[in-house]
């Protein structure tokens, strides 16, 4: 296809994978004291042991820490950046966008800075946007961040969502050329994105949006927070991630056994294991860190990618498959070659 040929000529690379999570850790035992839940339920139903929670830190603060590390690892200065893309559904404010706040914090100006919202698929959507910008601008050096303070949109009385989510950020730099040989980079071989708005009511944060405006003096209601039909979302997550993985593998003439590391969105260990079983992915080729961070929405995939790299789970020459699913519904997959 013409599009594939174009992308072969206009390759793009990810460098400087980094992540940051806030210091405060909320364990399952802590949660037992706050809502009607228990460690056994949380571990058996989700695999989550702890999550990190931001205290007096906004989306741009978490993004700042992850971005500073990413720039350092990619060995570039913030004033060399050409674009900033921040994937989030929990920005500091409606206006300004969190990417503009971040830009001031990292000390650059005069380049485009935008937030995008594709819920938990935000990082992979951001990758596609970044590589399109690379194709258009040969000198592009794009800071791609996914940063979420999900706790700011969780009803602290709702046990069904409170135990699941955590806060964090992941960042990298996207460019048309890999940087110097001592900077670890990977080539973006392919990306596929999908969405289905007909199922949007299964996972929402409606309150405060223009369809559900907050009125002066009105107290916050449930709709202000994440609301999810967990069982339904679970089924769609497994089905959609499986089908997009099969599609991207088939398109690239790759079999699942050729994937060295499979990095899925970290929402629930049961979703990850069900997906791995259907895809016949062996445990040693599967990366899981949901036990440590919970579901950090858009930040989950870049946190897992950077964590896998730091833990030595990715070696030069490895082929990695990223896949995510989230509200909207949105889902996406990417093949990256180290």
Nearer to ligand UT7, 185 or 268 (CB): 268
Using rule CB under 6 A, residue 330 touches ligand UT7: no
Q: Give the Cα separation of 128 and 126 in Å (integer).
A: 5
Half-sphere exposure of 300 (CA within 13 A, CB side): 36
Q: How far is the CB of 62 from ligand UT7 (least distance, A)?
A: 18
Interface mask (CB under 6 A) for ligand UT7, residues 164-193, using x and -? x-----------------------------
Binding segment for ligand UT7 (CB under 6 A), chosen from 66-74, 88-96, 157-165, 253-261, is: 157-165
Q: How far is the CB of 158 from ligand UT7 (least distance, A)?
A: 9
Binding segment for ligand UT7 (CB under 6 A), chosen from 11-19, 139-147, 158-166, 211-219, is: 158-166
Nearer to ligand UT7, 97 or 296 (CB): 296
Using rule CB under 6 A, residue 49 touches ligand UT7: no
Tell me if 71 sits within 8 A of 143, measured CB to CB: yes
Q: How far is the CB of 332 from ligand UT7 (least distance, A)?
A: 13
Tell me if 244 sits within 8 A of 194, measured CB to CB: yes
- Footprint (CB under 6 A) of ligand UT7, residues 15-44: 37, 41
User: Is 252 assigned a catalytic role?
Assistant: no
Q: Residues 260, 263, 269, CA angle at the centre, nearest 5°?
A: 125
Q: Which residue is nearest to ligand UT7 (CB)?
A: 230
The tokens for 150 are 């999900």
Q: Give the Cα separation of 282 and 220 in Å (integer).
A: 45
Beta strands 113-116; 83-87: pairing state: parallel
Q: Give the Cα separation of 316 and 113 in Å (integer).
A: 32
Q: Binding ligand UT7 by CB under 6 A: which of 10, 39, 45, 337? A: 45
Which residue is listed with tokens 């009125």?
Answer: 215
- Footprint (CB under 6 A) of ligand UT7, residues 190-249: 203, 230-231, 233-234, 237
User: Is 120 assigned a catalytic role?
Assistant: yes
Using rule CB under 6 A, residue 150 touches ligand UT7: no
User: Is 186 assigned a catalytic role?
Assistant: no
Half-sphere exposure of 322 (CA within 13 A, CB side): 33
Q: Binding ligand UT7 by CB under 6 A: which of 116, 154, 205, 271? A: 271
Q: Which of 59, 120, 134, 186 is catalytic?
A: 120
The tokens for 233 are 């979302």
Q: Binding ligand UT7 by CB under 6 A: which of 12, 50, 295, 334? A: 295
Q: Give the Cα separation of 39 and 189 in Å (integer).
A: 41
Q: Binding ligand UT7 by CB under 6 A: which of 16, 168, 207, 326? A: 326
Q: Which residues contact 310 (CB under 8 A, 6 or more apart)?
A: none
The tokens for 252 are 């690239």
How crowded is residue 81: how many other Cβ atoms within 10 Å of its Cβ?
20
Which residue is listed with tokens 């602290």?
Answer: 156
Q: Give the Cα separation of 113 and 143 in Å (integer).
A: 9
The tokens for 295 are 């579901």
Q: How far is the CB of 150 from ligand UT7 (least distance, A)?
A: 9
Q: Which of 28, 83, 265, 285 is catalytic?
A: 265
Binding site for ligand UT7 (CB under 6 A): 37, 41, 45-46, 120, 159-160, 163-164, 203, 230-231, 233-234, 237, 267-268, 271, 295, 325-326
Active site residues: 120, 265, 295
């Amino acid at each position: 296809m013409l599009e594939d040929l174009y992308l072969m000529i206009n390759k793009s690379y990810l460098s400087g994978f980094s992540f940051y999570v806030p210091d405060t850790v909320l364990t399952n035992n802590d949660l037992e004291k706050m809502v009607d839940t228990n460690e056994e339920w949380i571990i058996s139903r989700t695999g989550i042991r702890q999550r990190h929670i931001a205290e007096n830190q906004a989306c741009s603060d978490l993004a700042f820490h992850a971005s500073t590390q990413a720039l350092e690892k990619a060995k570039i200065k913030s004033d060399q950046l050409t674009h900033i893309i921040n994937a989030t559904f929990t920005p500091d404010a409606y206006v300004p966008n969190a990417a503009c706040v971040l830009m001031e914090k990292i000390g650059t100006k005069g380049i485009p800075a935008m937030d995008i919202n594709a819920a938990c698929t935000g990082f992979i959507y951001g990758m596609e946007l970044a590589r399109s910008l690379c194709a258009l601008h040969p000198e592009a050096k794009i800071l791609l961040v996914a940063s979420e303070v999900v706790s700011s949109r969780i009803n602290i009385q709702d046990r069904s969502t409170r135990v699941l989510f955590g806060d964090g950020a992941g960042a990298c730099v996207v460019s048309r050329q890999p940087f110097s040989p001592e900077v670890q980079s990977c080539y973006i071989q392919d990306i596929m994105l999908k969405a289905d708005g007909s199922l949007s009511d299964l996972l929402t944060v409606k309150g405060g949006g223009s369809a559900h405006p907050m009125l002066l003096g009105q107290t916050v209601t449930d709709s202000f927070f994440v609301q999810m039909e967990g069982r339904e979302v679970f089924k769609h997550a497994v089905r959609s991630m499986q089908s997009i993985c099969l599609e991207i593998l088939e398109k690239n003439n790759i079999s699942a056994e050729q994937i060295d590391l499979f990095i899925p969105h970290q929402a629930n260990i049961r979703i990850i294991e069900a997906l791995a079983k259907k895809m016949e992915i062996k445990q040693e080729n599967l990366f899981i860190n949901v036990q440590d961070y919970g579901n950090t929405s858009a930040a989950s995939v870049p946190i897992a990618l950077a964590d896998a790299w730091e833990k030595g789970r990715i070696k030069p020459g490895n082929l990695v498959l990223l896949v995510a699913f989230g509200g909207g519904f949105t889902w996406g997959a990417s093949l990256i070659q180290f």
